[in-house]
Structure 1
Amino acid sequence: MDELIKRLVKKYKTNSPFELAGALGIHIRFMNLGEGTKGLYYRKLKRRFIVIHNELPLEWQRFVCAHELAHDRLHKGVNRFFLEENSYFSSGKLERQANLFAVKLLSAGTSIEQEESLQSYYARIGIPAEVVFFLDD
């Protein structure tokens, strides 16, 4: 996973999940996905799509885009929903991998400062603070 992220960032000169998705030919759509669903990834007729809930704050939109991008890069052929941790959906291994990929991608090129808390670091680089609670599901 680390090597994949490193190659993506180096090749496309960005760690922005929106820019990476565009460069990889993945279409991004925003729509109301209802309560509990933050985003989803799917393929249809050889086209790939990331759909992000349109009422999420910007930092969550970024995280969800990175999470769904992970499904494209790591879990080819698997359509999975990224749901809130308290929903009926069990997150499982693929979701944990996608969360970790998202954090690693969004933090690429940055590092935690001495004596900085993880929560402060996430806030500084635009990762939702709640992410720390479901990285180790």
Structure 2
Amino acid sequence: MDELVNKLIRKHKTNDPFAIAHNINISIRYADLGNHTRGIYHRTLRRRFIILHNQLSPEWQRFICAHELGHDRLHKGINRFFIDEHSFFQAGKYERQANRFAVHLLTASDSLDPNECVQQFLQRNHIPEEVYPFYY
């Protein structure tokens, strides 16, 4: 996964998920997604969309955009809604992979400073505390 992240950053010269999404023609939209959904990746025909909950903080919007970009890069052709409704496969595996992708994308242009713990490093990179475990 680190190789995929590094290749993406080299190609687009940024680790900003919004800029990368724009460069690869993924439209970003904002909507009220209710209390339990922070973002959605949707592909229909040849058009791709990331829909972000419009009530999220900028920190969370950035993370969720990176997470949904992870679905685009890692899980081509897999639809979470299909998995939930038509199979016994747990989507949790894909969500964990997308979270790990997001954390690594958002921290790839930085490194731990001497005498800095991982939590300080992640906080400095504006990673939401709930997803710290996906750094490892």
- TM-score > 0.5 by shorter chain: yes
* TM-score bucket (shorter structure): 0.7 to 0.9
Range with bigger deviation, 47-56 or 72-81: 72-81
Distance 2:37 2:91 in 1: 12
- For residues 55 and 123 of structure 1, what CA distance do their matches in structure 2 show? 21
Taking the aligned partners of 2:57 and 2:117, their CA distance within structure 1 comes to 22
Write out per-residue CA displacement over residues 39-79 of structure 1, whole angstroms, 9 at most, x where no aligned residue: 01011121000000010000100000000000000000123
Match of 1:48 in 2: 48
Tell me which amino acid in the other structure corresponds to 1:2. D
TM-score by length of 2: 0.87
Alignment coverage as a number of residue pairs: 127
Report the RMSD for the aligned CA atoms in angstroms. 1.6
Question: After superposition, where does 1:90-101 map in structure 2 within 5 Å?
Answer: 92-101=92-101
Q: CA deviation at 1:91?
A: 5.3
Q: Verify the 8 A CA contact 2:80 2:91 in the aligned structure 1.
A: no
Counterpart of 2:20, as a letter, is L
SS in 2 for 1:50: strand
Larger radius of gyration: 2
- Judging by fraction of residues, say which structure has more helix: 2
Write out per-residue CA displacement over residues 54-109 of structure 1, whole angstroms, 9 at most, x where no aligned residue: 1000010000000000000000012337xxxxxxxx65211111000000000012
The alignment-based identity, stated in percent, is 55
Task: Report what 1:106 is aligned to.
Answer: 106
Secondary structure of 2:38's counterpart equals strand
Shift of 1:112: 1.5
The alignment's TM-score, normalised by the length of structure 1, stands at: 0.86
What are the within-5 Å matches in structure 2 for residues 45-124 of structure 1?
Answer: 45-80=45-80, 92-124=92-124
CA contact under 8 A between 1:70 and 1:102: conserved in structure 2? yes
CA-CA distance at 1:2 after TM superposition:
1.1
Distance 1:114 1:104 in 2: 19
Q: What residue number does 2:2 align with?
A: 2
Runs of 4+ in 1 over 3 A off after TM superposition: none
Deviation (angstroms), 1:116: 1.7
Q: What is the alpha-carbon distance in structure 1 between the residues aligned to residue 91 and residue 121 of structure 2?
A: 25
Say which SS state the counterpart of residue 27 (structure 2) adopts.
Answer: strand
- What are structure 1's unaligned runs of at least 5 residues? 82-89
